[in-house]
Amino acid sequence: MITPVKGRISSRFGYRIHPITKEKKSFHNGVDISAPEGTPIVAPVAGKITEFWTHDRGGHCLALTSADGLLRFGFAHLSKRFVSRGAVVKQGELIANVGNTGVSTGAHLHFTMKKNGSWIDPQLHFSF
């Protein structure tokens, strides 16, 4: 696996106080990686774009399922998407740009990871 974007972690995986709603014990299902708007995001693994949507909180989003079907990666707050649903992508292929869409405190990538349907901490598998 390769890191999808270069930047710094601005919010870690796990329970936190939500930075906008101030909700206590809000579960953050991924990591937020701060980077300038337009920074390229690449596929961390080879796989298929399995979901593609716009959400009021997450803004422009997409999901990538690994070629072996074991891992699902989510990408949110995107400014631009370069792939469509069903596209097969190679590891390292450009898939999107960092943005500030949805409910956001600034340009960043909200990056999630699931294994066998359960959320896992991306920081256990990637160096940001």
Q: For 91-123, give the DSSP string.
A: TT-EEEEEB--SS-SSSEEEEEEEETTEE--GG
Residue pair 81/5 in contact by the 8 Å Cβ criterion: no
pLDDT in tens, 61-103: 999 999 999 999 999 999 999 999 999 999 999 999 999 999 8
Predicted TM-score (pTM) above 0.85:
yes
Q: pLDDT tens, 19-60?
A: 677 777 778 899 999 999 999 999 999 999 999 999 888 899
Residue type, 14: G
Q: CA 92 to CA 3: how far, in whole Å?
A: 9
Give CA torsion, residues 125, 88, 59, 80, to 10 deg. 110
Q: Domains in the chain, please, with CATH?
A: 8-119 (2.70.70.10)
